Each structure stands twice: as C-alpha cells, then as structure tokens.
Amino acid sequence: MTEFVGIQVLGKVGETTQDFGKRLTLFWTETLRKFPDEFALVYAETICFEFLLGKPTRRYAIETQGVNFFLEKIPGEGFEVSPPTEEDIYTKYELPATEWWQIEH
C-alpha cells in the first residue's frame, strides 16, 4: 500500500490566506510545468488553511519518494516547511475527504 508523508507549508507572519494562497498557486503551477514527475507524487492538500505562530499554513500529503524533493524545493521558493514526524505518515484511507482534497493528475 502506498504511504504518504504529510508536510506543512507555512507563509509569512501576518500574511493573509488570500495572499498565501496566491503564492502557493504560483508555486504549484511552476512545479507542475517544470517537474511533472515530482508533482504527480503530491496526492492531496488540506481543504482549509490553518495558522501557526501567526503564519498561514497548508498541509500536503506526498508519496514518500517525493518528500525530500519538496523539503528542499519549498524553502527556496519563499516558504517555510515543517519537517515531517512519524505521526505524519498516512495511507490514502487516513486522508478523509472532509479534511483533504485529492489533487487531480
């Protein structure tokens, strides 16, 4: 069974979810265009934005073989990323549709 690792992407202190969402859209669009194989490893994102330490956040579930790519790429694009822990390992059955959007590929 495929396992997914959850990572949390953080914006800037005081950034609105609208501005953070726009930056995320640009990041994911560029990733899809330049790195389609890696983008295909992103399974889902959380439906709602969250906040941590005054920063908007969004979580993503990524197939294990793609995690290192995104842990290296995301900070270089002006975001922070929280390193995953053992609790951040999921199967697709642990990513309920009430909390996660499955990303179309």
Instruction: Give one DSSP letter per residue of the chain, joined into a string.
Output: ---EEEEEEE--TT--HHHHHHHHHHHHHHHHHH-HHHHTTEEEEESS-EEETTEEEEEEEEEGGGHHHHHHHGGGGT-EEEPP-GGGEE-GGGS-TTTEEEPP-
CATH class, domain 4-102, is alpha beta
Residue 105: per-residue pLDDT: 73
Quote the tokens at residue 41: 């490893």
- The domain segmentation of the chain, as residue ranges, is 4-102
| Amino acid identity for residue 57 in this structure | T
Q: Average pLDDT per run of 10 along the chain, which is 105 residues long?
A: 94 97 97 97 96 96 96 95 91 92 85
- The residue among 82, 78, 77 whose CA lies nearest residue 60 is 82
